[in-house]
Amino acid sequence: MVFSSQIFLFYFLPTFLVGYFVLVKAGVKHSGLNFFITVFSYIFYGWLEPWLVFLMFGSTLVVYVSGRLISAEGASKLQRNMALLMAIVVNLGALGFFKYYMFGMGILNDIVARFGGEPFSVMTILLPVGISFYTFQSMSYAIDVWRGTAPPVKNLATFACYVALFPQLVAGPIVRYNTVAEELATRTHTLENFVRGIVFFSFGFAEKIFLANQVGIIADRVFAADAPGVINCWWGAFAYMLQIYFDFSAYSNMAIGLGLMLGFHFPRNFNGPYRSHSITEFWKKWHISLTSWFRDYLYIALGGNRVGKKRLYFNLFMVMFLSGVWHGANWTFVCWGLYHAFFMIVERANNKNALYYKLPNIVQILLTQVLVLFGWVLFRADNIGEAWRLWKAMLGLMPVSASDAILTAEIFTPSTITFMAIAAILSFWRFRSFDWCNTVSFKRALIALGLFVLASLALFTQSYNPFLYFQF
């Protein structure tokens, strides 16, 4: 189930909110409220594939037990380490099998074929929605308890609520347990927070329907074209650059809004990444909850920047390489991670500055976003060959199809140009949706409500409503 669907907006969410606040008004304790959230979260998660609920619960149970063993009175260092290892192995094992089994077997069969052997049979594995997010979230809890930076959970129901919390379950932001530990135990439900939550959710929903979906149509048509011309290639790549930002930023805003309605405060996940002056700065502002996860649980564990230069560059390489692998089982994601690793290492060697840092600010921003855009082409392409073909087409090094004129007429219309312009302005302007939504006023609440009504009406007319990060 996704937020931008009729079943969620008009059936699931109203039913949940009414039931939840009836319990709040009845004075039900937070343990009861958390159980209610968990039940609905499992319904939300298992709506299309009910068996996935058992997988998530299995992961939850293992990490919960690990946390209790780590924090047990009198536990030896070996016992604590083994308990942590159990949590990590089970979660990474599940993630590795469901996400990378088919990819790995494909590589193995390619190697076998080169030596004239018979290929192995490969099972078709369904990728569980959101497994990359909830496994990382669960592991962060186990590691934090092991480090002594998070309190161990004594109640399985409380921990199950933390893992399954539906507002951020399938696409983040990745929420650390310390962030919501107190609110799981006791939280306040205020009208101000609820209204702020409505503003966040409504704004994010409008971003998704009016911007991400509209520019996404342009991107899909260009990436599906046989041999698009230079202008169309750049237009399509830019459209995807805007689509992935607004698609994910919109989901994060909706998740933050739903959390506020229930009394939870989730962290900001984007902070104007397309105004960055370097790739290093870009990764401080893009998908903040994931980059901070890799920083705190991998980069620092490898030694961070407290090591020599060669080891420092290796640490950066590993973080970006694994970030690419985390995003998907495809060589395009691996190469995308390596692409960003190259620029991160170059900039670290230049005191975290881009090579063009002495140029005017606007030029630095534009050059950085051109690099990001070329990376998004690699990220979006089905394979390396397609990415290479599109890169060459963007540089005018590929023949142009006779149908390119038809494509131009389809993707350059008054409406598409308008949506692209609005999306571009909101991306590159100093405007921050998080800051705008976080300040409650009557005027902003009315604007958000109006956007929600218009976006809801538009939803009924749209047949194109993908969610890009659903695949991760």
Q: For 37-82, write each residue's pLDDT tens digit.
A: 999 999 999 887 888 899 999 999 999 999 999 998 888 999 999 9
Domains held by the chain: number: 2
The pLDDT value recorded for residue 219 is: 94
For the CA atoms of 413, 418, 420, 426, the dihedral, rounded to the nearest 10 degrees, stands at 180
Is residue 82, in this structure, part of any structural domain at all?
yes
d(Cα 118, Cα 93) in Å, to the nearest integer? 27
Which tokens hold the place of 203? 């704004």
Residues 371 and 446 grouped into a single domain: yes
- Does residue 200 sit within a domain? yes
Report if residue 179 sits inside a domain. Answer: yes
User: Is residue 173 located within the same domain as residue 199?
Assistant: no
- Do the domain assignments include residue 318? no
Residue at 323 is within a domain:
no
Q: Cα torsion for 258, 260, 263, 269, to the nearest 10°?
A: 90
Q: Which domain holds residue 443?
A: 193-277+354-471
pLDDT at position 109 is 86
Domain match, 10 and 45 both: yes
The predicted pLDDT at position 472 comes to: 63
Do 170 and 236 belong together in one domain?
Answer: no
Query: In degrees, to the nearest 5, what angle opens at C-alpha 335 toward C-alphas 330 and 340?
Result: 135
* In-domain check, residue 105: yes
Which of 125, 160, 187 represents a domain boundary (last residue)?
Answer: 187
Rounded CA separation 66/75 (Å): 12
Q: How far is CA 356 from CA 285, 361, 383, in A?
A: 20, 10, 31
The confidence score (pLDDT) of residue 471 equals 65
Q: Are residues 163 and 208 in the same domain?
A: no
- One domain, residues 70 and 101: yes
Note whether residue 367 is domain-resident: yes
**Based on the domain organization, do 238 and 152 belong to the same domain?**
no
Residues in the chain: 472
Residue 406: partners with Cβ closer than 8 Å, 6 or more residues away? none
Same structural domain, 74 and 49: yes
Does one domain contain both 169 and 224? no
Final residue before a domain boundary, out of 171, 187, 203: 187
Residue 364: partners with Cβ closer than 8 Å, 6 or more residues away = 277, 278, 354, 356, 357
Does one domain contain both 228 and 375?
yes
Q: Same domain, yes or no, for 38 and 157?
A: yes
| List of the chain residues with pLDDT < 50 | none
Question: Residue 470: its pLDDT value, please?
Answer: 66
Which one of 172, 187, 202 terminates a domain?
Answer: 187
Assess whether 24 and 119 both reside in one domain. yes
Question: Which residue is it, tokens 């390619």?
Answer: 110
Residues labelled as active-site residues: 327
In a domain, 294, yes or no: no
